[in-house]
């Protein structure tokens, strides 16, 4: 797990109570641990609170990296990450979210409503009661 983090991310550990206020305060962290996925400008695009088992944490890493990538026009990479996140654990707690976000990534790449809805149809079929299905218009 450490290798997965170190090869894909720049880990940064901040002391919320004694760290530099000009760095800590703008991040709006109120609970520890908080995992932030930020871009090179330190703009946070995804966050997760508290601990997760390693299996789910790997999926979280994929979703977080995909969310940052989408902001930098890395749609192909984001689609690959979100596909991997879903396929790793298609019945897991992040599966519906991965499909929802993948639909967005597919649209950003193709500008095709039918292709986006093809992903979201799987989401609505597999997870009809999830908060992510409810967000699909």
pTM of this prediction?
0.91
* Cβ neighbours for 65, distance < 8 A, ≥ 6 positions apart: 8, 9, 37, 78, 81
Parent domain of 118:
2-134
pLDDT tens digits for the chain (137 residues)? 788 888 898 888 887 777 777 877 888 888 888 899 999 998 999 999 999 999 999 999 999 999 999 999 999 999 999 999 999 999 999 999 999 999 999 999 999 999 999 999 999 999 999 999 999 99
- Domain containing 108 — which CATH number? 1.25.40
> Cα(51)–Cα(41) distance, rounded to whole angstroms?
25
Q: How many domains does the chain divide into?
A: 1
Peptide bond into 33 cis (omega under 30): yes
């Amino acid at each position: 797990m450490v290798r997965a983090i170190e090869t894909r991310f720049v880990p940064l550990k901040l002391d919320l109570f004694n760290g530099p206020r000009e760095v800590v305060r703008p991040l709006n962290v109120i609970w520890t641990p908080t995992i932030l996925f930020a871009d090179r400008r330190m703009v946070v695009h995804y966050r997760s609170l508290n601990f997760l088992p390693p299996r789910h944490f790997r999926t979280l890493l994929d979703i977080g990296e995909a969310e940052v990538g989408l902001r930098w026009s890395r749609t192909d990479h984001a689609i690959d990450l979100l596909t991997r996140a879903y396929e790793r654990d298609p019945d897991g707690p992040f599966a519906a979210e991965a499909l929802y976000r993948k639909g967005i990534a597919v649209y950003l790449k193709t500008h095709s409503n039918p292709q986006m809805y093809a992903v979201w149809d799987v989401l609505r079929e597999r997870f009809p009661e999830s908060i992510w299905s409810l967000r699909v218009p």
